[in-house]
Structure 1
């Protein structure tokens, strides 16, 4: 039985990753600074894991806790703990982003190196690219992040590669640049979650910009598949895109959600925020070659699954509407 350590396990992607690793027979230690008692969203995510005897939850903070003990005997570390959010990263909170995203990563790298952990998989972000230049972003493009959040993720990514390239260090690294991940249990502040919850409540959602901005939306199970493949891929220090390979306007996604709901989702337009990019799209050549990655869930199906989860959780009558539009 292989043993994994997941940081940020109480988060959206972390909890999905842990559930799939357990399904595949791994033993999983999950670390997070949040707990079910302190955070209802974390509690909801952890609820899908806590009944499995091969799962151990440890409440710990990557910026201060003893990570060496947790790393011992681990075959792969999946580092997903981070302070997320482009818009919130401006101003006097940037110190928190540096502490969690950069210092926390450096401390984990030190622990992995000391414990001879074979592989660390780091959750990076498409935010490191910036605008992307209107063509699919490749891993060898010059990164030009447009937000403090993007800067912090790029710094952490470069730290990971620097540690992996040291002589006599056992830990190899693959940094995965995730593009706009969505699905059941998506963070409440993210676009699809806000649109769908507005549909359930009948209240208008905040729409930043025109809605014409394009994103390479990636379903969470595809992200999980790529992340697990990265644990055993033949690599020493690599960066890899993980996306759907298709860039879609946010307005198109809103229309798809409206079809499930049966009516338009009300929106209150707001000005575009600093750090928001016009378009993201990924070149998946490297992901295909190195990870054998092929995204399987298209946007229509992924949105349906996320809507049915939110509708079933928040409003049983709304779930019936999704059946009517099938």
Structure 2
């Protein structure tokens, strides 16, 4: 019987990953940061654990949400050290495969300014930048190659560690989730916050930023299934987990409130952390392996209905 380790199993992606692997018949061990998952701390696993796994799914990270990305730079050394500990341990214990959860935050912010609506391709991550000089000229001052905040730098560092581990003959798969969402998502993330506000029928309904910032929303079921499809296909190149469809925060809030059956006044908060203007992925590489199945409208309705009193 196949055995997997899921790190970050108390988090949104980790707990869904654990559930899907169990559904597929795997034996699953779990750990998290600060011993949140059954008292098992990932750092302890990486120091002393010697079991050889068929698959290690590394989801663990501290505070990977917008407020922390913009306001908590101190999470960067923690997350880099966590990734380094995992890869060092993996090189010692030699799991059959490692699935590393990177992030769309790794992409250059200059390509996400919204001046030119642009689908981010896997090769756009520095130093593999494939964008043309004409595109960078069109972006002008927005043509910055830095990733999104300290979290983006963390994931770039993690991907470099993944590449080094791969060069040492470890089978490593890297996926870059875009805006994952789902019914049980916490309120630190926009989708979870919007659903919570709609359930409480808040009016006015606050939206961080202008509300016009665009994201590529992908349901957690498709994040998990797409990531595991990358492993099953033995795809060693990074793969976007995305749909290619852009939806603004105001459009998402409207969907959520319509599903909840009320029409509030939307109140933008331009002073709040908002992130880049336009973050949409190119799903071409993913679609060679897997096509997302949950439409955004379906995911919104499911989240609202499952959270309402019977």
Q: CA deviation at 1:266?
A: 4.8
Structure 1 counterpart SS, 2:300: helix
2:60 is the counterpart of 1:81: yes
Higher alpha-carbon deviation: 15-24 or 260-269: 260-269
For 2:224, the equivalent position in structure 1 comes to: 224
Q: CA deviation at 1:267?
A: 4.1
* TM-score for both structures, normalised by structure 2: 0.84
1:128 to 100, 106, 110: 106
Distance 1:94 1:234, change over 3 A: same
For 2:163, the equivalent position in structure 1 comes to: 161
Q: CA deviation at 1:273?
A: 4.5
Query: Which ranges in structure 2 are unaligned for 5 or more consecutive residues?
Result: 127-145
Q: CA deviation at 1:219?
A: 0.4
Structure 1 counterpart SS, 2:238: strand
2:15 is the counterpart of 1:4: no
Q: Deviations over 1:16-45 (max 9, x none)?
A: 11111111100000111356xx7xxxxxxx
2:294 to 284, 292, 297: 297
RMSD of the TM alignment (CA)?
2.1
2:60 is the counterpart of 1:61: no
Distance 1:182 1:90, change over 3 A: closer
For 2:135, the equivalent position in structure 1 comes to: none
Whole-angstrom CA distance in 2 between matches of 1:3 and 1:149: 30
Distance 1:295 1:231, change over 3 A: same
Whole-angstrom CA distance in 2 between matches of 1:116 and 1:245: 35
Whole-angstrom CA distance in 1 between matches of 2:205 and 2:274: 20
Q: CA deviation at 1:274?
A: 5.4
Tell me how many residue pairs correspond in the alignment.
284
Whole-angstrom CA distance in 2 between matches of 1:135 and 1:90: 23
For 1:141, the equivalent position in structure 2 comes to: 124
For 2:21, the equivalent position in structure 1 comes to: 21
Whole-angstrom CA distance in 1 between matches of 2:163 and 2:233: 16
Contact conserved, 1:199 with 1:265, CA < 8 A, in 2? no
Q: CA deviation at 1:61?
A: 3.4
Contact conserved, 2:199 with 2:304, CA < 8 A, in 1? no
Whole-angstrom CA distance in 1 between matches of 2:65 and 2:181: 14
Distance 1:265 1:97, change over 3 A: farther
- For residues 89-108 of structure 1, what are the structure 2 equivalents within 5 Å? 89-90=69-70, 93-99=72-78, 101-108=79-86
Q: CA deviation at 1:218?
A: 0.3
Q: CA deviation at 1:58?
A: 4.7
- For residues 40-59 of structure 1, what are the structure 2 equivalents within 5 Å? 58-59=38-39
Query: Which ranges in structure 1 are unaligned for 5 or more consecutive residues?
Result: 39-56, 320-326
Structure 1 counterpart SS, 2:124: coil
Structure 2 counterpart SS, 1:231: helix
Structure 1 counterpart SS, 2:268: strand
